[in-house]
């Protein structure tokens, strides 16, 4: 069993044991901490040992359903490494920040479960295995929103669930279709990514298969026009689930486009790329403007997240090594910033019992440390220099200019849209008038600082020493782009 398998199954197995054992909540929290720290420790070890020049590594392969050629096939490369690291780092920090507030078994058990599920989905190289984890990681979120959510959470969790499963089922049919075609061409069944990419499909078939996959990914990310579940779900979800959804699951959708669609249907993806670039750019603006008009903080950040994810999609679809590296980098830096920002929104709600902009105000004068961190993370989302987001956005813009000067221009200008609502939000929440709700606002406690400081340092490190991180991603991206005949800027 390799370190990757341990990272997948240790959280899942622990979650199952905790579910059956029904032990004291404090013990559950301690076990949660231990397990997530073990995973983090393993992930950091993995990062250190990761050899940037070998593309796919730590590959593990065991036949699973022999007759259909389905295998337990996992491995990690430069692009998936980012999400693995984020998954491993964010989960324990969430617990540190929230451990006092959440006294329900289900909360922690579900978080452990979802960590394993996401890890599995990121690392799978077999389509059925991927589908399994992709679906399974939905369940904990479904339960978290239903059990611990706010507002009309039963309705909303059902809507979210059905929306996502619809996409997944379309993807399932697409997977089966491509596998059957593979069987007709090569004589045996296989669901392995590297086998299936040899399948030849005609134009109509590949377009349909592409749409099957794309519906699933587009809903999960979400890109326009599949976003209608988004703002309600984020609003109703408890903070732990929101962090998982925005920092990890949405990124996974974008990553899956790259990993599966670009590998399996490279030509088709190339052909439809202009449409998705336009949808992405439109989404970037549309979600940005929608975010501006929100007065509910979680909804605003949900839309802001969607706006950045559209940018990540654009970065992938411009088919350029800068775009690919930039998007992979943005996946990581946005995950860190948005996780931290949502954590702080959760803290704010705990203190003021409100998510509404007009109820909050003047926090800077009451709680200066909180204000510093909040402003810092909000600005890092916008992508001000010295933060990781800046590096990523510059790379994507460079790639976009290379793709087409018009696209580059639009990308460069619309990135600034995030500034509008972020500055408005900061001025209202941090510097507005002190209100009834915020006048006794308690400043950051020690354990909250312990959770936020590493994230802040990570954001800074990613902004100041990007090379240290990019060198792990770049060789993968280069070899990939060479293979696909893309612009490598050599």
Residues at the interface with another protein (CB under 8 A): 19, 22, 62, 64-68, 72, 128, 131-132, 135-136, 139, 142-143, 146-147, 153-154, 157-158, 161-162, 165-166, 169-170, 172-173, 176-177, 179-180, 183
Which three-class secondary structure state does DSSP give residue 356? strand
Q: How far is the CB of 50 from another protein (least distance, A)?
A: 26
Distance, in Å, from the CA atom of 393 to the CA atom of 329, rounded to the nearest integer, reads: 9
47-55, long-range: CB < 8 A, 24+ apart: 47/81, 47/85, 47/472, 50/76, 50/78, 50/81, 50/472, 52/78, 52/471, 52/472, 52/473, 52/474, 52/475, 52/476, 53/475, 55/475, 55/476, 55/479, 55/480
Q: Are 222 and 306 in contact (CB under 8 A)?
A: yes
Minimum gap (Å) between residue 296 Cβ and another protein: 22
Which helix (H) or strand (E) segment holds residue 60: the answer is strand 57-65
For residues 83 and 88, what is the distance between their CA atoms, to the nearest angstrom?
A: 8
Task: Give dist(CA 464, CA 482) in Å, integer.
Answer: 28
CA distance 326 to 313: 11
Reading phi first (left if > 0) and then psi (alpha if -120 to 50, else beta), residue 296 is in beta
DSSP 192-205: BHHHHTT----HHH
Q: Nearest to residue 71, comparing CAs of 179, 165, 218? A: 179
CB of 265 to another protein, least distance (A): 17
Smaller CB separation from another protein, 124 or 337: 124
**Least separation, in Å, of the C-beta of 298 and another protein?**
20
Q: Which is nearer to another protein, 179 or 473 (CB)?
A: 179
Q: How far is the CB of 179 from another protein (least distance, A)?
A: 7
Going by the DSSP 8-state scheme, the letter that residue 353 receives in this structure is S
State in angstroms the smallest separation of the CB of 131 from another protein. 6
In sign, the C-alpha dihedral spanning 266, 75, 120, 129 is: positive
Tell me the three state secondary structure of residue 487. strand
Measuring CA to CA, how many Å separate 23 from each of 12, 48, 148, 302? 17, 36, 20, 35
Tokens for 357, please give them.
């902009």
Q: Which is nearer to another protein, 66 or 446 (CB)?
A: 66
Least distance (Å) between residue 166 CB and another protein: 5
Nearer to another protein, 59 or 136 (CB): 136
Whichever of 177 and 431 has its CB closer to another protein, that residue is 177
Nearer to another protein, 106 or 274 (CB): 106
Nearest residue to 397 (alpha-carbon basis) of 411, 382, 387:
411
Q: How far is the CB of 118 from another protein (least distance, A)?
A: 15
Which residue's CB is nearer to another protein, number 48 or number 66?
Answer: 66
**Minimum gap (Å) between residue 132 Cβ and another protein:** 4
Taking the complex as a whole, the smallest distance from the CB of residue 238 to another protein amounts, in Å, to 13
Pairing of strands 70-76, 57-65: antiparallel
Nearer to another protein, 203 or 440 (CB): 203
Q: Which is nearer to another protein, 33 or 176 (CB)?
A: 176
The DSSP H or E segment spanning 61 is strand 57-65
């Amino acid at each position: 069993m390799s370190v990757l398998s341990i990272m997948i199954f240790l959280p899942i197995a622990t979650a199952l044991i905790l579910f059956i054992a029904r032990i004291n909540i404090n013990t559950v929290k301690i076990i949660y901490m231990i397990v997530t720290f073990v995973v983090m420790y393993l992930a950091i070890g993995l990062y250190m040992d990761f050899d940037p020049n070998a593309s796919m590594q730590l590959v593990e392969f065991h036949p699973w359903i022999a007759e259909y050629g389905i295998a337990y096939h996992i491995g990690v490369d430069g692009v998936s490494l980012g999400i693995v690291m984020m998954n491993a780092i964010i989960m324990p920090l969430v617990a540190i920040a929230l451990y006092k507030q959440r006294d329900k078994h289900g909360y922690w058990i579900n978080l452990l479960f979802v960590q394993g599920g996401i890890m599995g989905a990121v690392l799978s190289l077999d389509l059925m295995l991927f589908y399994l984890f992709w679906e399974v990681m939905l369940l904990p979120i479904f339960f978290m929103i239903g059990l611990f959510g706010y507002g009309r959470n039963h309705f909303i969790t059902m809507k979210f669930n059905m929306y996502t499963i619809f996409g997944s089922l379309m993807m399932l049919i697409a997977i089966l279709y491509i596998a059957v075609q593979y069987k007709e061409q090569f004589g045996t069944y296989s669901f392995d990514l590297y086998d299936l990419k040899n399948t030849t499909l005609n134009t109509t078939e590949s377009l349909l298969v592409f749409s099957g996959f794309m519906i699933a990914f587009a809903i999960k990310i979400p890109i326009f026009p599949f976003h209608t579940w988004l703002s309600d779900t984020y609003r109703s979800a408890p903070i732990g689930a929101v962090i998982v959804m925005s920092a990890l699951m949405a990124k996974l959708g974008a990553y899956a486009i790259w990993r599966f669609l670009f590998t399996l249907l490279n030509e088709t993806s190339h052909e439809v790329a202009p449409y998705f670039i336009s949808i992405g750019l439109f989404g970037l603006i549309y979600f940005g403007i929608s975010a501006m008009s929100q007065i509910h903080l979680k909804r605003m950040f949900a839309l802001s997240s969607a706006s950045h994810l559209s940018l990540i999609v654009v970065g992938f679809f411009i088919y350029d090594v800068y775009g690919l590296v930039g998007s992979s980098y943005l996946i990581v830096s946005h995950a860190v910033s948005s996780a931290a920002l949502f954590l702080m929104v959760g803290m704010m709600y705990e203190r003021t019992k409100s998510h509404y902009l007009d109820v909050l105000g003047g926090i800077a004068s009451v709680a200066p440390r909180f204000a510093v961190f909040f402003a810092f993370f909000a600005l890092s989302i916008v992508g001000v220099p010295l933060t990781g987001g800046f590096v990523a956005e510059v790379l994507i813009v460079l790639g976009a200019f290379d793709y087409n000067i018009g696209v580059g221009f639009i990308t460069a200008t619309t990135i600034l849209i995030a500034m509008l609502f972020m500055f408005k939000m900061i001025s209202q929440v941090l510097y507005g008038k002190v209100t009834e709700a915020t006048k006794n606002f308690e400043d950051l406690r020690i354990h909250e600082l312990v959770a936020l400081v590493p994230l802040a340092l990570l954001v800074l490190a990613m902004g100041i020493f990007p090379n240290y991180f990019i060198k792990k991603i770049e060789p993968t991206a280069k070899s990939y782009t060479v293979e696909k005949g893309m612009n490598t800027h050599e």
